[in-house]
C-alpha cells in the first residue's frame, strides 16, 4: 500500500477494461519514469480477462500502485471522475488509457518542468507517437516548445492546430477544479470539453517531443468511428459554450460562433485524411454534413477532405497535379 500521509506531486490514472494484453506495457512505461513522486491509480472497470491479476501483481511489487477494482461495470465517464476527483491526491493529474504508453522515461519530468516554468498554464501536452501494426509516425501540433495564453490556446483548439490526446496530457489540478472538472452532461467528447475549459482557464504548454504513445488497433478504431457519428452534436454544443465563455471573458476568438463548429470539424477531417486514414476522414465529413449541412456544403476544405478520403493518397495526388491544385493544398 502507498503511504497515506504522503501527498504525491502527480496522480496518474490508468483506466482499464479488458486490456490485459496491453496493461503490463502501459504500467511498466509509467513506473520507469525518472520522476518518481507520483501515485499510480489503476481502475479496472470489471474486466473479464486477466487484468485484475495483473494489477494486483503490480500493486504487491510497487507501493505507488493503488488498485481500484470495480465489482460492477461503471462505464468510462464515471471511472474517469472517480479517479480524478475522488482518488487522486496530486498537484497534477494525468490520464493514461491502458492500451497506450508513456514513450519517454523523462516524460513526467519534462511536463512538470514546463508547468512549473509557465505557472498560469492549465495543462501540458506533447507530440504523440502513433503505435500501430506498422511504423505510424508522429502526430505533432507544433514544431517547437511553446506556451499559449488563454485566448490563443482556445483559438488553437478550435482550429485543431493544438490536438491534445487524452492519454498523457498533464493537468494542473487547481485549474481542473476551477473549471468544474469533467462535464457531467457529456458522454462522448469528454476530452474536448476538458481542453477548451482548461484553455479558457489558463492556456497550455506544449513539448514537441513524442512523450506519449497512442495505440491504433481495430477495437479503438471501431469505437472512434462510432463516436464520430454519435458525438457531433455534443461537439457543437461544447464549442458553442466555449466560444460564448471566451467572448464573455473578452478573448479575441477570431471567428464567429456560427463558423467555429465547421472550422473545427473541417480541420479534423483534413488532418485525418492526410495522416490517420480514409475511413476516419469520411466519417468526420459525414458527421459534419448531418449536423451542419449548409456549413459542410460551403466548406472548400471539407470537399477536399472528401476527395482525399474517396481517392486515397495516390489517386488524390494524381488529380491534384492534373488539376494544378497545388496552392490549395500547401501546408497539408
pLDDT score, position 159? 87
Do residues 91 and 131 share a domain?
A: no
Q: What is the CATH number of the domain that holds 53?
A: 3.90.550.10
| Residue ending a domain, choose from 183, 216, 249 | 216
pLDDT band at 258 (very low <50, low <70, confident <90, very high): confident
Name the grid cell of 299. Answer: 466548406
Domain hosting 18: range is: 8-99
Mean pLDDT of the chain: 84
Alpha-carbon torsion (173, 175, 177, 180), positive or negative: negative
On whether residue 3 sits in a domain, the answer given is no
Do residues 192 and 257 share a domain?
A: no
- Looking at the 3D structure of the chain, how many domains does it have? 3
pLDDT band at 279 (very low <50, low <70, confident <90, very high): low
On whether residue 283 sits in a domain, the answer given is yes
- Name the pairing type of β-strands 38-44 and 10-16: parallel
Tell me how far apart the alpha carbons of residues 264 and 186 are, in angstroms, rounded to a whole number.
18
For residues 305 and 64, which has the higher predicted lDDT (pLDDT)? 64
pLDDT score, position 262? 73
| Residue ending a domain, choose from 182, 216, 250 | 216
Which string of DSSP letters, residue by residue, matches 143-181?
SS-EEE-HHHHHHHHHTTSS---STT-EEEHHHHHHTTS
On whether residue 2 sits in a domain, the answer given is no
Which distant-in-sequence residues (6+ apart) come within 8 Å of 73 by Cβ? Answer: 17, 45, 46
pLDDT band at 316 (very low <50, low <70, confident <90, very high): very low
Do residues 230 and 293 share a domain?
A: yes
Do residues 172 and 249 share a domain?
A: no
On whether residue 253 sits in a domain, the answer given is yes
pLDDT score, position 261? 74
Do residues 121 and 199 share a domain?
A: yes
Do residues 256 and 292 share a domain?
A: yes
Name the grid cell of 286. Answer: 459525414
Residue 233 above 90 pLDDT? no
Work out the number of other CB atoms within 10 angstroms of the CB of residue 130: 17
For residues 148 and 318, which has the higher predicted lDDT (pLDDT)? 148
Mean pLDDT calculated for residue range 52-70: 97
Task: List residues bridging with 13 in a β-sheet.
Answer: 41, 95
| Candidate from 110-114, 170-174, 197-201, 296-300 with smallest mean pLDDT | 296-300
Residue 36 above 90 pLDDT? yes
State the residue for C-alpha cell 468511428.
225
What's the pTM? Answer: 0.82
On whether residue 248 sits in a domain, the answer given is yes
Do residues 78 and 108 share a domain?
A: no
Do residues 198 and 269 share a domain?
A: no
On whether residue 1 sits in a domain, the answer given is no
On whether residue 109 sits in a domain, the answer given is yes
On whether residue 266 sits in a domain, the answer given is yes
Do residues 265 and 325 share a domain?
A: yes
Do residues 129 and 199 share a domain?
A: yes
Q: Which of 282, 259, 258, 257 is nearest to 269 (CA)?
A: 282
Do residues 107 and 78 share a domain?
A: no
Do residues 135 and 237 share a domain?
A: no
| Residue ending a domain, choose from 99, 114, 132 | 99
pLDDT band at 188 (very low <50, low <70, confident <90, very high): confident
Amino acid at each position: 500500500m502507498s503511504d497515506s500521509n504522503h501527498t504525491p506531486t502527480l496522480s496518474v490514472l490508468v483506466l482499464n477494461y479488458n486490456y490485459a494484453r496491453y496493461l503490463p506495457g502501459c504500467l511498466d512505461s509509467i513506473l520507469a519514469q525518472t520522476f518518481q513522486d507520483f501515485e499510480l491509480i489503476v481502475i479496472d472497470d470489471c474486466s473479464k480477462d486477466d487484468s485484475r491479476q495483473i494489477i494486483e501483481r503490480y500493486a504487491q511489487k510497487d507501493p505507488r500502485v493503488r488498485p481500484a477494482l470495480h465489482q460492477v461495470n461503471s462505464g468510462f465517464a464515471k471511472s474517469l471522475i472517480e479517479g480524478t476527483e475522488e482518488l487522486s491526491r496530486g498537484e497534477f493529474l494525468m490520464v493514461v488509457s491502458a492500451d497506450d504508453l508513456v514513450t519517454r522515461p523523462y516524460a513526467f519530468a519534462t511536463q512538470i518542468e514546463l508547468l512549473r516554468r509557465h505557472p498560469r498554464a492549465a495543462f501540458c501536452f506533447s507530440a504523440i507517437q502513433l503505435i500501430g501494426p506498422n511504423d505510424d509516425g508522429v502526430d505533432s501540433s507544433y514544431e517547437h516548445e511553446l506556451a499559449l495564453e488563454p485566448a490563443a490556446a482556445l483559438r488553437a483548439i478550435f482550429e485543431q492546430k493544438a490536438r491534445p490526446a487524452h492519454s498523457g496530457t498533464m493537468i494542473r489540478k487547481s485549474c481542473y477544479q476551477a473549471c468544474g472538472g469533467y462535464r457531467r452532461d457529456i458522454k462522448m467528447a469528454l476530452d474536448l470539453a476538458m481542453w477548451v475549459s482548461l484553455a479558457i482557464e489558463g492556456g497550455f504548454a506544449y513539448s514537441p517531443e513524442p512523450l506519449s504513445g497512442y495505440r491504433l488497433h481495430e477495437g479503438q478504431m471501431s469505437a472512434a468511428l462510432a463516436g464520430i457519428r454519435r458525438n457531433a452534436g455534443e461537439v457543437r454544443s461544447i464549442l458553442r459554450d466555449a466560444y460564448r465563455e471566451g467572448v464573455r471573458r473578452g478573448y479575441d476568438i477570431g471567428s464567429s460562433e456560427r463558423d467555429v463548429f465547421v472550422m473545427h470539424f473541417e480541420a479534423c477531417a483534413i488532418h485525418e485524411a492526410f495522416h490517420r486514414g480514409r475511413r476516419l476522414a469520411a466519417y468526420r465529413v459525414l458527421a459534419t454534413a448531418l449536423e451542419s449541412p449548409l456549413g459542410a456544403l460551403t466548406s472548400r476544405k471539407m470537399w477536399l477532405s472528401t476527395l482525399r478520403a474517396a481517392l486515397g493518397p495516390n489517386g488524390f495526388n494524381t488529380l491534384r497535379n492534373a488539376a494544378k491544385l497545388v496552392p490549395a493544398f500547401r501546408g497539408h
